[in-house]
Amino acid sequence: MFLLWMLEFILACLVFYVLLLPGEAPGAAGLDLGTVKSASLLGLTVGLTSIAIGLYRPEICLRTRALLVNSVVAGVIGFPVILLVSVLTHIDPSLLLGHDAIWPMKMLLSWVLLLFATRLLLRVALRSGLFTRNILLVGTPDQAACTAMAVAALPRQVFRVLQVLPPEAADSLTADWLTRHRIWGVVMANGSEVMPGALLRAQARGVRVFGDVLFREQHLRRMDLASLTPDWLLRANDLTPSLPSRMVRRGAEIALSLFGLLLTLPLLGLAALAIKLDSPGPVFYRQERVGLGGRSFVLLKLRSMRTDAEVNGPAWASLGDARVTRVGAFLRKTRIDELPQLLNVLRGEMGFVGPRPERPHFVAQLGAEIPFYADRHQVKPGITGWAQVSMAYGASVEDAREKLSYDLYYVKNRSLFLDALIILSTVRVILFQEGAR
């Protein structure tokens, strides 16, 4: 996906450069450095917008309808972003928006056509097996079945299980056999024991060697809960960050939450008025949640349900939930009801990114039924998280189990890069109302 983004970014810059050149003599006097800068900014702006709305998610990158809708949305969103970029970079907006009134439409049409052309080439390459990676599974058929299912679940058949090899036969692997069958990696199923000589020969030929759990973690981007051991947290990246790292993260949380509150204050005022006019009750909803280290705090939200919503006790929200008010349904779909949580971030009870905080009632219930559930409290809860951008809303114990597999992946692999990716993906979730209830 990264290589696809780079290709489309470079091609977009070239197309925008040609469109921005004066019409009388394009390219006659060599490169116009001002036009190169403008085209590069345009390409980067549209490229980052495309990432934010999901154009580079493997599961939709070749779906024609989703591609058309998302690329048009990316183009439409790109125009105000381009104006903002021109202000921040002190560039005359006319240099970015072209020489005539229809230039933005030319840019959008060119961008859509470019995407369809590159995705057509990608489709052909995938069907020809150009990017398919052959893997060798080591283990009995029963041991390898779970990994084989995980490989089949990966989008667009990026991996192909070429053969399942019994552990006793693994030591007979030869370099010629690995090369002839273009083996990209060897995956050892749980319970299989492979002779070190076989692994060393494979690694000497540049073949990657994975344990079953590590392979699924890296390529499914979630943890395999059934295979976790009690010491799994010792391999986490960011559980004990350095003091400078904590100071930078906390400083960014304070600055961004203050900026967000100031920016959304008019929207919060309109939402508060709509809530009061729509149904009786308070504007804000305060609810106890479990945060870092298992400590409880009071979560703030705009009220989206009737005041008698939980007279019969806590309950998960469901599709078409009758307890949700008319205004509340809109607030939930657009995630406006989550904005007061910026105050929780400002107070240090939450971060922008992290596992979503649950209520003590559900934490006790799920902790009793799902192993390692309490480990999600090793990091601050967040307004958005890896589980929120990776799966739909969960409203059952099984959904909570799947959600936990993503939360624990975030706990183990937490980084500023992953945080940035989650924040960008949250834009897509809000725009397309994914998982709202």
Encode pLDDT of 154-189 as tens digits: 665 678 888 888 877 776 777 778 878 888 888 887
Q: Are residues 193 and 288 in the same domain?
A: no
Residue 404's pLDDT is 92
Q: DSSP code of 54?
A: T
What is the spatial distance between Cα 323 and Cα 273, in angstroms, rounded to a whole number? 20
* Residue 227 CB-density burial (10 A; 0-12 exposed, 13-18 middle, 19+ buried): middle
Please indicate, yes or no, if residue 238 is contained in any of the structural domains: no
Q: Are residues 19 and 163 in the same domain?
A: no
Q: Are residues 274 and 410 in the same domain?
A: yes
Q: DSSP code of 189?
A: P
Q: Are residues 82 and 194 in the same domain?
A: no
Taking each helix axis from N to C terminus, what angle separates 360-369 and 397-413, rounded to the nearest 10 degrees? 90
Q: Which of 162-166, 234-238, 294-298 has the highest mean pLDDT?
A: 294-298
Q: Give phi and psi for 160, each to the nearest 5.
A: -135, 125
Residue type, 295: R
Given 161, 186, 220, the domain boundary residue is 220
| Strands 284-290 and 296-302, sheet pairing | antiparallel
What is the spatial distance between Cα 408 and Cα 224, in angstroms, rounded to a whole number? 9
What is the spatial distance between Cα 219 and Cα 212, in angstroms, rounded to a whole number? 11
Q: Are residues 300 and 385 in the same domain?
A: yes
Q: Are residues 122 and 142 in the same domain?
A: no
Q: Are residues 403 and 323 in the same domain?
A: yes
Given 78, 111, 127, the domain boundary residue is 127
Side-chain half-sphere of 156: how many Cα atoms within 13 Å?
Answer: 22
| This prediction's pTM | 0.77
Please indicate, yes or no, if residue 177 is contained in any of the structural domains: yes
* Total domains, the chain: 3
Average pLDDT (41-69) is 78
Q: Are residues 110 and 141 in the same domain?
A: no
Please indicate, yes or no, if residue 288 is contained in any of the structural domains: yes
Average pLDDT, the chain: 81
The SS3 assignment for 424 reads: helix
What is the spatial distance between Cα 130 and Cα 419, in angstroms, rounded to a whole number? 32
Q: Are residues 206 and 251 in the same domain?
A: no
Q: How far is CA 131 from the centre of its chain?
A: 23
30 against 430, higher pLDDT: 430
Q: Are residues 118 and 139 in the same domain?
A: no
- Check if the beta carbon of residue 208 is closer than 8 Å to that of residue 188: no
Q: Give phi and psi for 62, each to the nearest 5.
A: -115, 10
Give the confidence band of 99 by pLDDT, cuts at 50, 70, 90: low
pLDDT digits (tens, 9 = 90+) for 205-231: 778 888 777 887 887 788 888 778 887
Please indicate, yes or no, if residue 188 is contained in any of the structural domains: yes
- Check if the beta carbon of residue 312 is closer than 8 Å to that of residue 361: no
Q: Are residues 76 and 198 in the same domain?
A: no
Residue 376 has pLDDT above 80, yes or no: yes
Alpha helices in 89-181 (DSSP H): 93-97, 103-127, 141-153, 175-180
Please indicate, yes or no, if residue 231 is contained in any of the structural domains: no
Given 127, 144, 176, the domain boundary residue is 127
What is the helix, strand, coil percentage profile of the chain, to 5?
Answer: 60, 10, 30
Give the confidence band of 128 by pLDDT, cuts at 50, 70, 90: confident
What is the spatial distance between Cα 148 and Cα 190, in angstroms, rounded to a whole number? 12
Please indicate, yes or no, if residue 419 is contained in any of the structural domains: yes
User: What domain range is 292 assigned to?
Assistant: 243-309+317-431
Domain CATH code at residue 166: 3.40.50.10700
In this structure, of 122-136, 165-179, 220-234, 363-377, the range with the lowest mean pLDDT score is 165-179
Please indicate, yes or no, if residue 237 is contained in any of the structural domains: no
Residue 254 has pLDDT above 90, yes or no: yes
What is the spatial distance between Cα 206 and Cα 200, in angstroms, rounded to a whole number? 10
Please indicate, yes or no, if residue 233 is contained in any of the structural domains: no
- Check if the beta carbon of residue 107 is closer than 8 Å to that of residue 20: no
Q: Are residues 411 and 303 in the same domain?
A: yes
Residue 44 has pLDDT above 80, yes or no: yes
